[in-house]
Amino acid sequence: MTPLTPEQVQIIKATVPVLAQHGETITTKFYADMLEAHPELKNIFNNTHQATGHQSRALAGSLYAYASNIDDLGKLSPAVELICHKHVSLYIRPEHYNIVGEHLLKTMKTVLGAAATPDILGAWEAAYWQLANIMINKEDGLYKEAEGWTDWKDFKIVRKEKEAEDITSFYLQPVESNLKLPIFKPGQYISVNVFVDELDGGVWQARQYSLSDAPGKDYLRISVKREPGVEVGEPSDMTHPGYLSNIMHEKKNVGDTVRVSHPWGDFYFEEEEDKSAPIVLISAGVGLTCLNSILNATLEHSSRPVTWIQGARDSKTRAFKKEIDGLAEKKSNLHTVYFSSSPQEGELQGQDYDIRGRVNLDSIDKKVLFTDSDKTLYFTCGPQQFMLDVEAKLKTYGVPAERIHMELFGTGGIPRV
**Which one of 64, 128, 139, 209 is the catalytic residue?**
139
Instruction: Give the model's confidence band at 201: pLDDT under 50 very low, under 70 low, under 90 confident, else very high.
Output: confident
What is the rounded distance in angstroms from the CA atom of residue 259 to the CA atom of residue 36? 25
Distance CA(81)–CA(72), nearest Å, equals: 16
pTM: 0.92
Question: What span, in angstroms and rounded, lies between the C-alpha atoms of 72 and 62?
Answer: 15
Specify the pLDDT at position 357. Answer: 96
Per-residue pLDDT at 241: 61
User: DSSP characters for 310-358?
Assistant: EEESSGGG--SHHHHHHHHHH-TTEEEEEEESSPPTT--BTTTBSEESS
Largest CA distance in the chain: 71
Q: What is the mean pLDDT of the chain?
A: 91
Q: Of 64, 91, 97, 171, which is the active-site residue?
A: 97
Q: What is the mean pLDDT of residues 176-191?
A: 95
Alpha carbon distance 282, 405 (integer Å): 10
**Is 243 part of the annotated catalytic residue set?**
no
Distance CA 120, CA 343 (A): 58
What was the pLDDT predicted at 58? 87
pLDDT digits (tens, 9 = 90+) for 305-336: 999 999 999 999 999 999 999 999 999 999 99
The question of whether 139 is a catalytic residue gets the answer: yes
pLDDT digits (tens, 9 = 90+) for 224-261: 999 876 566 665 655 656 788 989 999 999 999 999 99
